[in-house]
Homo-oligomer: A and B are copies of this chain.
Amino acid sequence: MYVKRDKEHIVVKLEKNEDLVEKLTQLAQEENIKAGMIVSGIGMLRDPEIGYYTGTGYEQKKLEGVYELVSITGYLQETTPRVHIHISIADKNNKVYGGHLLSGKCDPYAIIAVISYEKLSFKRVYVEKAKRMETEVYEI
């Protein structure tokens, strides 16, 4: 992975066999991103593990093979877990699968764009009203 910046905009290239979740976590840490949204991303993913949130945890499934990454959305935050990513992917028959991304290796590569907000912070905290951990958005 390498990282290029232009003002609040960050573009990263992920190379073959790099895990998309691991590398965007590393991006959040190394670039000290307090609040970032993934605004675009293209490439291919091999053997992605995708989850569905049941209210208590993720029902997860490994999809074997290499898929076109057709959408990626989510955020980078100040607290652990540093990333929250949803994707949709297409197989060779153009059939689309999607959900919460748990892991997936780039193959051959991916280019992802993030907006890193200077004046915002995303943090996972306990929300009294919801009685659960959620990500909240703060102005800093």
Contacts and interface: CB of A to CB of B under 8 A. Distances in A.
Interface of A: 2, 4-9, 11, 13, 15-16, 35, 37-42, 44, 50, 52-55, 59, 61, 63, 68-75, 84-100, 108-109, 111, 113, 115, 117-120, 122, 129-130, 132, 134-139
Contacts of A7: 8, 119
Contact of A98 (B6, B68, B132, B138): B68
How many copies of this chain?
Answer: 3
A86 B72 CA distance: 11
A108 B132 contact: yes
Nearest to A94: B97
Contact of A40 (B8, B37, B135, B138): B37
B88 A90 contact: yes
B52 A99 contact: no
Instruction: List 4 A-B pairs, minimum CB-CB distance, nearest first.
Output: A90-B98, A70-B98, A71-B71, A6-B119
A137 B38 contact: no
